A = this chain, B = another copy of it.
Amino acid sequence: MSSVETAEEFKTRSQIDQPTETHLNGSKEFILITDHKTSKKGCNVNDFLKSGVKNIFRKKTLYKRFPILTWLPRYTRSDAIGDLIAGITVGLTVIPQGLAYSGVAGLPTQFGLYGAFMGCFVYVLLGTCKDSTIGSTAIASLMVFQFAKGVWQLAVFLTFLTGVIEILMALFRLSFIIEFVSGPVSAGFTSAVALIISTSQIKNILGVKNASGNTFLQRWISMIKDIHSIRVADSILGCSCVAILIVMRYVGRIKVGPKSNPKWHHKVATKLFWFLGVSRNAILVIVCAAVCMYLEREGKSYFRLTGFVPPGLPDFGPPPFYMEGTPANTTTGEPPVEAKNFFDMVSELGFGLLIVPLVALLENIAVCKAFAKGQPIDTTQELLTIGIANVANSFVQGYRANGGLARSAVNNASGVRTPLGNLYIGLIVIFALLFLTEFFYYIPQAVLAAIIISAVIFQLQYHVILPMWRSKRIDLIPCFVAFIACLVLPLEIGILVAIGVNLLFILYHSARPKVRLETLETQDGIKFLQLTPDRCLIFPSVEFVRNLVLKFGNKTTLPVVIDCTYIYGADYTAAKVISSLIDDFKKRNQTIIFYNLKPNVVQIFEGLNINFTLCYNTYALTQALRESESDAAIKGALESNLETGVKSSSETLNSAITVEAS
């Protein structure tokens, strides 16, 4: 299409735009439509508190904070059936998972189940995403191991304290911090976690006792040193279990019969396969434990078993706020444990108090996003919910819990309709604690390890590399930095380093705008140099832009036009630099014109009493250029006169000015 049409379309478009334009100079002013409460916060604390208090008692807020009020009144019988089926199915996944993850967290087996029911009950009341289920996850368990180092009191204390921190973060609306963890960093971190967890579980499969150390590398080194103590039976069992679980995973995806219009028996067969896949962990645990129980009663013990799990529910009570010391146990050879008070425990957790909530929220929001179906996600509410869930958990000696992707996918596929499905999961876990602990004795440790390995190997994010390469190659750097840093450094330091490196990208990005350079001509043939910076002028970038303008302005005597269409913001530093830039051009007798500078930026510049030429349309621009040209002509004539007397030019110029003045 021709440019005439474009222009006409433009006219139509600008007529459309007209009603929303409030500024007469034709510049597009942006309207901030961010959360008003947040933007007010900076201005006036009183207003913020007032509106906050008012807000708490509004009906809309009540419904937002208790999503159950929205869905429960509309609850139907078919919802109830869907939730019940899903709850039972997920329950079968949660119990073996819980038992296994307690090993990742370095805690006795029962703690895996202690942390698996309170969160579910809390989520029924406060959860926003019907598919999410709250319980221990591989990442959360690893984090607990990293910071509590296998001491259950410390793990429960960490759960309580991070829960409180999450609640506070939710109240101060700090959930946005997860936005500073980019996709690549998150992918690198998740992959590293998968490798670290696999390592810790390979230890269990091989039956090697010694795999200590704070980082992935250290653990492998100590494991290889101890390779002679490998247990053959456990290794065979573990490896075959991993193989079986992976096969069953794919069995679950088998579809029987034609794609469209399947017969009823096809449907039943497909459903059966699916159920086999979904409950593969439970099936494997039941079969293996049954075999071991039989062998054990025959007096044959080939495998290392889970051992005694205390029956019954955990005691309800506040989390441990101090730890009593114990003297060295001479019979078992355990070293003595030092007594620790509240502050010792806090300082022992250190960075964990920051990293654990961050990672938990990341994981939880990933679940919500996966099943949101285009609804916006209330990250603040989710943060609040997992905070409360973890505080509740810490009162029943449970450790960290949050939404897990694999479990939630089962929930979704089982046809869950509301967060009420969580209720059944919680009840099943309680049932297991009350009646099944005797049976748990016979579960081989290698089977639990196999369950974890077959789950986490699919968390290796190798599939993001190709799209990242095709889409934006430089993003591979934070991804690999996160991956490698988390493997060679302690996990919490690794992720902080990766986030730091990624933020450097943003800072560099703000420091180095792109600038388009063109020599243009007006209708009446006045040439000018146009520079178009592509983003806002703030302190790390403005100096760069100034140097470019000076450099290219220096090479020519043409008037310079700065097209400010894309400059949507500025700061004091920018105002100072622009002010000196204008002075520089004045000293050089070169014209500099700012084209289409937004009123909010003009306001910032005017704070420094900058005196500059502004144009908001090409008509004004042409006028300004014409004026500058006639000025230049006068000056040019003067200068050509002066060039005859080379060294005395400044004196002649002075006298010329004096003549003018007198």
Residues of A within 8 A of B (CB): 1, 3-18, 20, 26, 28, 30-34, 42, 78, 176, 179-184, 260-261, 369, 372-377, 467-472, 474-475, 502-503, 506-507, 509-512, 514-518, 520-523, 532, 534-536, 538-541, 543-544, 547-548, 550-552, 554, 566, 568-573, 575-576, 580, 583-585, 587-588, 603-609, 617-619, 647, 658, 661-662
Contact = CB atoms under 8 A, between A and B. Distances in A.
Nearest to A378: B547
A260 B658 contact: yes
A607 to B, nearest CB: 3
A256 B514 CA distance: 51
A373 B584 contact: yes
20 contacts: A6-B11, A6-B618, A9-B619, A17-B518, A20-B518, A28-B532, A33-B516, A34-B512, A179-B539, A179-B544, A180-B511, A183-B572, A260-B661, A471-B603, A471-B604, A471-B606, A472-B570, A506-B510, A509-B538, A535-B568
A647 B18 CA distance: 45
Contact of A470 (B30, B369, B521, B607): B607
A12 B183 contact: no
Given A13-B618, A617-B9, A183 B576 contact: yes
A576 to B, nearest CB: 5
Contact of A260 (B4, B9, B514, B662): B662
Given A179-B540, A538-B509, A540-B180, A32 B514 contact: yes
A3 B18 CA distance: 9
A522 B604 contact: no
A150 B297 CA distance: 80
A467 B572 contact: yes
Contact of A511 (B176, B511, B576): B176
Nearest to A42: B474
A503 B507 contact: yes
B540 A572 contact: no
Contacts of A587: 373-374
B377 A547 contact: yes
A349 B607 CA distance: 41
Nearest to A377: B547
4 smallest A-B Cβ distances: which pairs? Answer: A471-B607, A374-B584, A470-B607, A182-B539
Residue among A507, A520, A571, A662 with the highest chain B CB neighbour number at 10 A: A571
A583 B373 CA distance: 8
> Interface centre among A42, A374, A566, by most B CB within 10 Å?
A374
Given A3-B14, A376-B551, A547-B377, A516 B30 contact: yes
Given A7-B8, A617-B6, A618-B9, A31 B607 contact: no
Contacts of A547: 376-377
A608 B471 contact: yes
Nearest to A181: B539
A375 B583 CA distance: 11
Nearest to A658: B260
Contacts of A541: 179
A468 B607 contact: yes
Given A13-B618, A535-B568, A572-B467, A374 B550 contact: yes
Which of A472, A534, A619 has the most CB atoms of chain B within a 10 A radius of its CB? A472
A472 B619 contact: no
Dominant secondary structure of chain A at its interface with chain B: helix
A416 B184 CA distance: 55
Contact of A566 (B472, B532, B540, B566): B566
A182 B573 contact: yes
A64 B181 CA distance: 42
Given A9-B618, A376-B551, A575-B471, A539 B183 contact: yes
Contacts of A647: 78
Contacts of A609: 467
Contacts of A535: 535-536, 568
A14 B470 CA distance: 33
Contacts of A511: 176, 179-180
B566 A568 contact: yes
Contacts of A26: 6
Contacts of A472: 570-572, 575, 604, 607
Contacts of A571: 182, 472, 475
Contacts of A179: 511, 539-541, 543-544
Contacts of A78: 647
A523 B10 CA distance: 11
A176 B42 CA distance: 31
Given A374-B554, A374-B588, A509-B536, 9 more contacts: A10-B10, A16-B521, A16-B522, A31-B514, A260-B661, A369-B580, A472-B570, A472-B575, A509-B510
A4 B514 CA distance: 32
B584 A516 contact: no
B573 A184 contact: yes
Contacts of A572: 182-184, 467-468, 471-472, 475
A64 to B, nearest CB: 13
Contacts of A3: 11, 14-15, 18
A366 to B, nearest CB: 11
B517 A31 contact: yes
Contacts of A467: 572, 575, 607-609
Contacts of A539: 179-183, 502, 506
A10 B607 contact: no
Contacts of A10: 7, 10, 618
A515 to B, nearest CB: 6
Contacts of A554: 374-376
Contacts of A569: 509
A553 B355 CA distance: 34
A568 B618 contact: no
A566 B534 CA distance: 8
A573 B468 CA distance: 9
